[in-house]
Amino acid sequence: MSLTHFPHGISSFGDPIYGGAIPHLGPLGKVFVVVNTAAKFAYLDQRYGTDPDLSVPRVYLQNGTNNGIQNAITNCRNKYGDVILIEPGYYLVTTGITLAKDHITIMARNDARIATVLYGGDTSYGDWTSDLLTITGSYYRVEGLGLYTYYNAGSAIVLNDAGDDGGGDDGGFGQIVKCTFPPEGGGVGSEKYGIKIKGANNVTIDQCNFSGQLTAGIRFEGGVGNPINPIISNTIFNGCVAGVEVATSVFGGVMDNCHFTCATYPAAMAMTYGFTGSGGGEFDVRNCTGPFAANALNNASGISILGTSATGQGYIQLSAST
């Protein structure tokens, strides 16, 4: 028997009672909850963990020892529309997380007081050189998270077309929404990206914020094929070396209502390029603002711009350099 659904969920003395309206939950979907303290885990596990009714959530603990997010993914069912809710707080991730299933949502439980942050590595674990979250599934949604990659390398999110479906779908047909990719740790490093898209198609990135100490906020690479139809909208690139790095051909790209800023904090991290790279393809750029003068594009790498005004309105043709 399902729990009663209320429009905005319900709580008891500030603690959530799951079973209210959960966004993006499929008709047959289950809810999985991840917490970051043993006390919270024990409380919620006692409350829900022994209930045989599948409509109540299962609870997992994420800390330096337990990979609760990965455990929740393992127990999600492929293509059922299951939702993983991450409680507000700080989550140390010491082993990269992989999502290889379809129609799964990973989202923060909204709380205006406390952010929900996944933190890849810290000084006690040495330099973080892994990718924080790798997605090879499709029709996913990641929402409301802060994603740190500490120190010199590694991407916060990798959308990877692994090719086991013939190409294109893996890592694609998904949404990254309302996520922040803030700076952390010792400098830019050689390969440090907010989102790396490796051949994945039909990816939407909306209402995100990419900050300094990133080699690029978003990087496009080839996978089994080349990325097509990406949409980047309502997003801020703040002081990254490059907003978007195109290292392969990208076709059908749209960038709408985005802002590039040459932030000077830290001073060495002022944005050099809005777009850079040697890949081919095209982006339709609409209603974008920022330093669209000398450093808007890295023309030396073969990227040309057609009909773009100082306000960033127009069509960008990405021609592979010779």
Give the ranges where the chain is alpha helix by DSSP (H): 38-44, 68-75
Q: Domain range for residue 225?
A: 88-318
101 within some domain:
yes
71 within some domain:
no
Higher-pLDDT residue of 130 and 145 is: 145
80 within some domain:
no
Per residue in 274-303, pLDDT (tens digit) is 666 666 677 777 777 765 433 344 333 333
Residue 131 has pLDDT above 60, yes or no: yes
Q: What is the pLDDT of residue 111?
A: 64
47 within some domain:
no
Q: Provide the number of structural domains found in the chain.
A: 1
The beta-strand segments (E) located in 204-249 are 204-206, 209-210, 216-221, 231-233, 236-238, 242-246
Residue 1 has pLDDT above 50, yes or no: no
Whole-number Cα distances in Å, 86 to 124, 143, 181, 182, 254: 24, 10, 17, 19, 30
Reply yes or no: is the peptide bond before residue 266 cis, omega within 30 of 0: yes
48 within some domain:
no
**pTM listed for this prediction:** 0.83
77 within some domain:
no
Q: What is the pLDDT of residue 270?
A: 43
282 within some domain:
yes
> What one-character DSSP code corresponds to residue 297?
B
82 within some domain:
no
β-strand 31-35 against 83-86: which pairing, if any? parallel
